[in-house]
Amino acid sequence: MDYTDLYINGTWHKTADRFDVINPATEEVIASVASADIADADAALDAAEKAMADWAVRTPRARSEVLRKAWELMTAQLDHFAHLITLENGKAGADAKGEATYAAEFFRWFAEEAVRADGMITHAPASRARIIVQHKPAGLAVLITPWNYPAAMGTRKIAPALAAGCGVIIKPASETPLTMLALMPLLEEAGVPPGLVNVLPSRKTGALVDHMLHDPRVRVVSFTGSTGVGRKLLKSAADQVLKPAMELGGNAPVVVLEDADMDTAIDGTMLAKMRNLGEACTAANRIYVHESIADEFTKRLTDRMSALKMGDGTDPSVDVGPLVNADTRNKVAEFVTDAVAKGAKIECGGTVPEGKGYYYPPTVLSSVPEHADCVQDEIFGPVAAIQTFTDQEEAIRRANNTEYGLVAYVFSADFKRALQVCERLDYGMVGLNRGLVSDPAAPFGGTKQSGLGREGGHDGMLEFMETQYISASW
């Protein structure tokens, strides 16, 4: 069965209004998908409200077992989900398999966290009262996911919401709705009751989401995407004082100190830059290398980037696939053109290839000036923009000189020195001598304009819970 309709109350609903999902490698239509409207949103909210009434009072262990089963089922189908991710997102097969594995792991982690919503009982210090603190499900949650991780950005929200006892409505990105829809039969088999999880793909995103955020039954909004859209959602969420969990944009600096191990720095930068072809808010955006090692670093990174094979991600020999759509590819090309016009040098790549598909080659730019557009904004593509610095203080200052604060990366063989640099970086996460920070067991999130709240770790479940305090005497 092709899962291309709305998923409401455990059943599939066709709509007259539909939109096409495009394979970015071939520019061909993969599927026609149902587009939800306001009436569909109301039906999903009704279903979630009813299902949550039972789910919220189930024991934490009962909820945990369902999530554990979801992990087992998804783990058994990793190749299936990886293929689907590649078809609609474009990422290479190995990268897609990595995402599917990461996505499944959220079910296992939050299966374990579901039984750990610990409260406390203590004596009030100035009276005879007892202070009782407990955590309760916050209410219905609207989950809005991006196109760059069609599976993982959904499970990173679904799993903690279910662990907390909440019902959810998911609005997947219009570019990549198929993976999330395909996950629903798996959740059914795992034991998720009808109505608890609903999926509403739509090309009327703004009106649909705004309507749901103004429904009094909704108490949480969780969004991953651009800072601009996040600001708009926060304004809508303010009308009902919803709990917001916002994972927004980034402008990640990589700081390579002069004492860094070169192999570690190159490996880590490659991972931070090229995971998901750079289409990630955690992707390395500004690469600051100490001037004494910049020539060697640039040559070695250029050699590695030049060796990557570009093509259709369904080919197992391909390292990097296409970008998700023409707009994304064109924006990346504009960043390179702007940087070169301002003095940057192309070390490799830098030209849009001919033919079908939204491809852009792995590209290395050296001598990138601070006022280049790619330094000021997210590249969201396979372009490594290298700059140099002369001393540690300069590197820290330049790394912090952005409105974003999601993630930074530091490479140094001196662990004490590296930790001191990390602590002075105004970022929610730092990768120290590694190019990957994402982990279901860790609190993922940023500072400044990069968002509010955390996903993953124990904090991720608390985003879907309210703290209740009871003052008691006995």
Instruction: Write the DSSP string, 254-320.
Output: EEE-TTS-HHHHHHHHHHHHHGGGG-STTSEEEEEEETTTHHHHHHHHHHHHHTPPBS-TTSTT-SB
Chunk the chain into consecutive blocks of 10 residues (it has 474) and report each block's average pLDDT, rounded to whole numbers.
91 97 98 98 98 98 98 98 98 97 98 95 93 97 98 98 98 98 98 98 96 98 96 96 96 98 98 96 97 98 98 97 97 98 98 97 98 96 98 97 98 97 98 97 97 96 97 91
Q: Active-site residue among 88, 105, 281, 347?
A: 281
Distances (CA, A) of 315 to 87, 154, 363: 11, 26, 21
DSSP state, residue 324 = S
Confidence at residue 1, expressed as pLDDT on a 0 to 100 scale: 56
Confidence at residue 203, expressed as pLDDT on a 0 to 100 scale: 93
Query: Coil, strand or helix: which one is 240?
Result: coil
Concerning whether 422 is annotated as a catalytic residue, the answer is no
Concerning whether 281 is annotated as a catalytic residue, the answer is yes
Distances (CA, A) of 287 to 255, 385, 386, 409, 463: 6, 6, 5, 9, 33
Give the pair of three-digit tokens for residue 457.
């770790």
Name the residue among 405, 329, 404, 336 with its Cα closest to residue 373.
336
**What residue ranges in 156-204 does DSSP mark as E strands?**
168-171, 197-199
Q: How far apart are CA 115 and CA 150, in angstroms?
A: 28
Confidence at residue 177, expressed as pLDDT on a 0 to 100 scale: 98
- Number of C-beta neighbours around residue 232 at 10 A: 14
- Number of C-beta neighbours around residue 244 at 10 A: 20
Q: Active-site residue among 99, 113, 175, 247?
A: 247
- Write the CB contacts of 235 (distance below 8 Å, at least 6 apart in sequence): none
- Number of C-beta neighbours around residue 127 at 10 A: 10
Confidence at residue 2, expressed as pLDDT on a 0 to 100 scale: 78
